[in-house]
Structure 1
Amino acid sequence: MKTNWTSLTVFLFFFVLVTAVGFVAARWRRAQDANHLDEWGLGGRGFGTVVSWFLLGGDLYTAYTFIAVPALVYGVGAAGFYAVPYTIIAWPLVFLFLPRLWSVARSKGYVTLADFARGRYGSKSVALAVAVTGIVATMPYIALQLVGIQAVLTTMHVGGSSGWSKDLPLLIAFAVLAAYTYSSGLRAPALIAFVKDTLIYIVVLVAIIYIPIRLGGYGHIFHDAATALSAKNPTTGKPRGSLVSGPSAQWTYATLALGSAMALFMYPHSATGVLAAKDRLTVRRNLAILPAYSLMLGLLLMLGFMAISAGVGKGVAGYDKNLAIPQLFQQMFPSWFAGVAFAAIGIGALVPAAIMSIAAANLFTRNIYKDFFKPDATPAQEAKVAKLVSLLVKFGALAFVLTLDQSFSVNYQLLGGIWILQTFPAIFAGLFTRWFHRWALLAGWAVGMVYSTWESWGSLSGGKPGTHFGNTVNIPGIGQMGYIGLNALVLNLAVAVVLTVGLRLIKSPEGVDETVPADYVADVDDTEHSEPVIAPVTT
């Protein structure tokens, strides 16, 4: 097929628009000292309810939402809907602990989750473990954004069919992203998120009304999807998928949902969006209204069934499922509106990729560079290092794209979740209690990381022979397949609990907890400064 110049022109218009917005953002709410990590990496900690809502939405609803999960629904059916209960579980969970995280971070000047771990447990080693995990887990998540952009570019026939000519447009897009991230920091994705979310809502609302009308209604769509998913895969001899998860898939569904919910705000980019809020009330307001995005997610997943009904990819050997939604839009929409939809997906990948690279850079700067290489680093030096690392992180993400199987790109996010879940005991538990011993947490983390990486390497990605870094394994004692990350977390917690009891019995040094109970309920107007106290402290 030839390039549709109308769609491409509309796409380029919005891409140029957000690029301009990204560079202009450096002058938006200009800081007195832009060369400071609080300003570059957290936007000055001054975003109000509206800006924070768009920022967090742009942060959390990524190419995973617009490409990966609908592609999973297109490929296997009901299993892809685990993303809906996952977000429903996540919101009450994070409403419980994120206001506490914001308060202690504001009170003590923390920029990252690893800063909190260091302060709470008096341990640079625990902080290093959290930081390294956050950076590594973010890489495949950024890679997922690359896959989303590439799917749009491929659908529009931009670039060659293989090799460098195919990847060049993607590299150009990410070079532009890197440039405005470097210059504007978190202000760039915060401002661009307004454009991104507006486009996404318009496209989703049009899609769920217009496409079903063209396909004969939802009843016809479900009938077509059920027929196609029940067809046997010639390789395995089993049905391709189903509209309803069978008994053998229910543990997988449940553990993926629960594990993903627990992992969501352990990611450094999620915490960055929260810590940029101007006060505690802003955090609470946003957590109360962000579930509106869960409704949008459920509607987006329906696009997977629509793609089946529209015959997208039907009969194409080795069809790339990541193309299903962009090609659905191309097939169903007028050329000009297809360009709007492509722009929504592309910008929907660029915004979170920018936030992720900033968050990873904050971790490296604060918890590796400053803690271990230059303890006397000035704020300007911190900001400079963070800017450079934000560029390098993107190249690390490219390595995942070039080396891992892309059949089901949702595996990129689930792989990151497997690793980031291993920081859950140190962060989540630490916000409520100082019971765990720092060395026990470190040992549990190490066991969880080794187990999860080993099992993931030995698991097939999307069941495809010859691949690695899948996300499910047999659950001991149950005999059903479940999410590797949750298995590893249980093992992690068991080691941490047992060793904490043992280390307490031998009166092993606990470290200094620099927080006090008042820090966890502090607000921006509080002027009292807490003093460090000797652990253990329970809050």
Structure 2
Amino acid sequence: MKLVIVVVILLGTVAGAVSYGRRTRKGHTFSDWAVGGRSLGALIFWFMNAGEVYTTFAVLGISGYAWALGAPAYLAFCSVSMSYAIGYWLMPKIWRAGRTRQLVTQADFFAARYDATWLGVLTGVIGIASLIVYVQIQLVSLGLIVQLTLDDLISIQAATLIAGLLMIAFVFVAGIRSAAFAAGVKDVLMIVVVVLLSATVAGKVGAASMLDIFHMAEVQHPGIGRFPGLDPSSPTTAIWLMTSSINIALGNWVFPHLFQMSYTAQSATAIRRNAIWQPLYSLAYFFIVLLGFAALLAGTHPPGNNLNAALLQFISERYSAPVVGLVAGTGFLLALAPGALLLLTAGSIFSRNVVAPFLPGLKDRTSLLISRGSLIVFAAIAVWLSISQKGSLVKILLDAYSAIGMLAPAVFLGFLWKRTTAIGVLAGLVAGFVALLAPFAAHYWAALAPQCEPGLIAMAINAATVVLVSLATPRPTPHAVSLGVAAEALAASK
């Protein structure tokens, strides 16, 4: 029963996505595959943008954090709302820059704004590395869902490998428009699942109501609703919450796939409307945290005490096969839709910004083939990381945001300060990554600021270095600086 429901959901969504993609695309060019012809309207852009709110991280990661730690799961509420506040200002600027210079990838922006092809290559490699870590989140979750669907008949390693193959297959038949359609189906199913589970979960754990679950959790586990949560020795204090939320909010739209997604919009108005209303999506985290608390009250013990599997284990133990199948099928889409966008973006950057600078005159068709071939390699690396590394989805996410956050100062200053130079950006990247990844860094920041998110500290060092070095180096060329000026002129015409 579970398998039948999952197959129906997957095949139905993929068929609809492919049909929609073929019907609405303008051609077979690299640009159409990567940025949808820059013509996504408000509705389809809504679902694509919202795909970053409803992912496997949102459901399995946050519920698992609530099950294991309690209050630290509130991170989701803060980070999503703050991200869209910044996105309201930043995303239209990215869109305008893309229209002005016909940019396709994030690395295109760096190369154009700083008039430095080499910087496009460097930031492209950094972006691809960050995307692979983000794909890891989807594969870890998808592997768990595959195991649930097959009743644990296969190992987690085999399940993760199957998950990787499914993601690659989905990307090859998708493209940006098809991925957006799948994201819409996924969001609708997610709402159905959340409402269904939340409406019935109280009876599964002997509570009088949904709110009674929180009361029971506090009675049985004192301090679960306050920071630092269930573990008094955990560094997840209120300061951790604030610094981690700020780090996520500043880095969110700097992720290459979201940067590239901004290019796909039909207008800046569509972007702003989304940014105004989509923080409402974060309210769904209340129910996801609720389910994590319910799993704790039910005495759920996932295999290996894996907090990422807590919700799935709870549902498989307390709900009927049709409900489990619906959850599993929705879970597949929660991983495949954003995973497709991540791999598609990584492949686009590789062919356009890493390979093309060394192969002048690369034809559009060849570039498309290289892009599709490279994403197989990136997916394989993500599978290897998923199998070889352990950790909560929240921890993996914070690591990904810390890495991509190193590009944030160059993006923000690129729009705000004409004096920012390519050499300044390079110096900032070096200083930031040393502060983030040097062997001594983790122990040093843990001792100096034990409750602060290290990624935010490294980002601040990066930004200060960019400013100081930019002041000490020659001004950028008028052509490079004109990217922001031309973008503002385009905004006025719209």
TM-score by length of 1: 0.84
Which piece of structure 1 moves more, 129-138 or 507-516? 507-516
Secondary structure of 1:122's aligned partner: coil
The match for 2:164 is: 174
- Compared CA separation, residues 376 and 497, structure 1 to 2 (3 A): same
Tell me the percent identity.
22
Q: 2:299 aligns with which of 305, 311, 336?
A: 311
Which ranges of structure 2 fall in alignment gaps of 5 or more residues? none
The match for 1:259 is: 247
Residue deviations 1:279-338 (CA, integer Å, cap 9, x gap): 22211121122112111133222221111112211xx78411111111222233332122
Q: Do the aligned residues in 1 keep the contact of 2:228 with 2:236 (CA within 8 Å)? A: no
> In the alignment, does 2:434 pair up with 1:446?
no
- Compared CA separation, residues 524 and 50, structure 1 to 2 (3 A): farther
Secondary structure of 1:61's aligned partner: coil
The match for 1:502 is: 472
Residue deviations 1:148-181 (CA, integer Å, cap 9, x gap): 112222234445453xxx4334433432332242
Secondary structure of 2:438's aligned partner: helix
- Compared CA separation, residues 42 and 202, structure 1 to 2 (3 A): same
The match for 1:517 is: 485
Secondary structure of 2:305's aligned partner: coil
Q: 2:319 aligns with which of 333, 346, 355?
A: 333
Aligned 1:354-503 pairs, distance under 5 A: 354-371=340-357, 373-406=358-391, 408-454=392-438, 473-474=445-446, 476=448, 479-503=449-473
Alpha-carbon distance, 1:376 to partner? 1.4
Secondary structure of 1:266's aligned partner: coil
The match for 2:120 is: 127
Alpha-carbon distance, 1:207 to partner? 1.9
Distance in 1, Cα, partners of 2:223 & 2:75 = 22
- State the one-letter code of the partner of 2:372: K
Aligned 1:54-93 pairs, distance under 5 A: 54-93=47-86
- State the one-letter code of the partner of 1:62: T
> In the alignment, does 2:200 pair up with 1:210?
yes
Distance in 2, Cα, partners of 1:154 & 1:69 = 20
Alpha-carbon distance, 1:512 to partner? 4.4
Secondary structure of 1:241's aligned partner: coil
Q: Do the aligned residues in 2 keep the contact of 1:64 with 1:144 (CA within 8 Å)? A: yes
The match for 1:225 is: 217
Distance in 2, Cα, partners of 1:425 & 1:305 = 38
Distance in 1, Cα, partners of 2:262 & 2:383 = 27
- Compared CA separation, residues 159 and 23, structure 1 to 2 (3 A): farther
Aligned 1:22-171 pairs, distance under 5 A: 22-31=17-26, 33-34=27-28, 36-158=29-151, 160-162=153-155, 166-171=156-161
Q: Do the aligned residues in 2 keep the contact of 1:60 with 1:270 (CA within 8 Å)? A: no
Distance in 1, Cα, partners of 2:447 & 2:370 = 43
Aligned 1:235-246 pairs, distance under 5 A: 241-242=229-230
Residue deviations 1:337-374 (CA, integer Å, cap 9, x gap): 22111111221011000000011111112211112x21
Residue deviations 1:363-397 (CA, integer Å, cap 9, x gap): 112211112x2121122222221111222221121
- State the one-letter code of the partner of 1:385: I
Alpha-carbon distance, 1:96 to partner? 0.9
Secondary structure of 1:111's aligned partner: coil
The match for 1:3 is: none
- Compared CA separation, residues 423 and 20, structure 1 to 2 (3 A): same
The match for 1:15 is: 10
Residue deviations 1:21-58 (CA, integer Å, cap 9, x gap): 34434423132x31x22111112211111111111112
Secondary structure of 2:315's aligned partner: helix
Which piece of structure 1 moves more, 111-120 or 431-440? 431-440
- Compared CA separation, residues 435 and 301, structure 1 to 2 (3 A): farther
Residue deviations 1:234-273 (CA, integer Å, cap 9, x gap): xxxxx99339999972221111111011111111111222
Q: Do the aligned residues in 2 keep the contact of 1:78 with 1:243 (CA within 8 Å)? A: no
Secondary structure of 1:375's aligned partner: coil
Residue deviations 1:94-140 (CA, integer Å, cap 9, x gap): 11111111011012100112111111111123222321111111111
Distance in 2, Cα, partners of 1:25 & 1:525 = 31
Q: Do the aligned residues in 2 keep the contact of 1:152 with 1:346 (CA within 8 Å)? A: yes
- Compared CA separation, residues 187 and 143, structure 1 to 2 (3 A): same
Secondary structure of 2:282's aligned partner: helix
Distance in 2, Cα, partners of 1:240 & 1:229 = 13
Distance in 2, Cα, partners of 1:324 & 1:64 = 13
Distance in 1, Cα, partners of 2:304 & 2:387 = 18
TM-score by length of 2: 0.91
- Compared CA separation, residues 475 and 112, structure 1 to 2 (3 A): farther
Secondary structure of 2:40's aligned partner: coil
Secondary structure of 1:522's aligned partner: helix
Q: Do the aligned residues in 2 keep the contact of 1:277 with 1:283 (CA within 8 Å)? A: yes
> In the alignment, does 2:290 pair up with 1:343?
no
Distance in 2, Cα, partners of 1:253 & 1:59 = 20
Distance in 1, Cα, partners of 2:492 & 2:170 = 30
- Compared CA separation, residues 509 and 293, structure 1 to 2 (3 A): closer
- Compared CA separation, residues 21 and 105, structure 1 to 2 (3 A): same
Distance in 1, Cα, partners of 2:445 & 2:451 = 5
Secondary structure of 1:383's aligned partner: helix
Distance in 2, Cα, partners of 1:100 & 1:304 = 38
> In the alignment, does 2:185 pair up with 1:185?
no
Q: Do the aligned residues in 1 keep the contact of 2:64 with 2:310 (CA within 8 Å)? A: yes
Distance in 2, Cα, partners of 1:501 & 1:174 = 46
- State the one-letter code of the partner of 1:452: L
- State the one-letter code of the partner of 1:186: I
Q: Do the aligned residues in 2 keep the contact of 1:79 with 1:245 (CA within 8 Å)? A: no
Which ranges of structure 1 fall in alignment gaps of 5 or more residues? 1-5, 233-238, 460-471, 527-539
Secondary structure of 2:452's aligned partner: strand
Q: Do the aligned residues in 1 keep the contact of 2:435 with 2:458 (CA within 8 Å)? A: yes
Query: How many residues in Structure 1 have an aligned counterpart in Structure 2?
Result: 489
Aligned 1:247-326 pairs, distance under 5 A: 249-313=237-301, 318-326=304-312
Q: Do the aligned residues in 1 keep the contact of 2:213 with 2:290 (CA within 8 Å)? A: no
Distance in 1, Cα, partners of 2:58 & 2:439 = 26
Residue deviations 1:45-90 (CA, integer Å, cap 9, x gap): 1111111111111244311111112211111111121121111111
- State the one-letter code of the partner of 1:402: I
- State the one-letter code of the partner of 2:162: I
Distance in 2, Cα, partners of 1:145 & 1:498 = 38
Q: Do the aligned residues in 1 keep the contact of 2:228 with 2:238 (CA within 8 Å)? A: no
Distance in 2, Cα, partners of 1:271 & 1:419 = 15
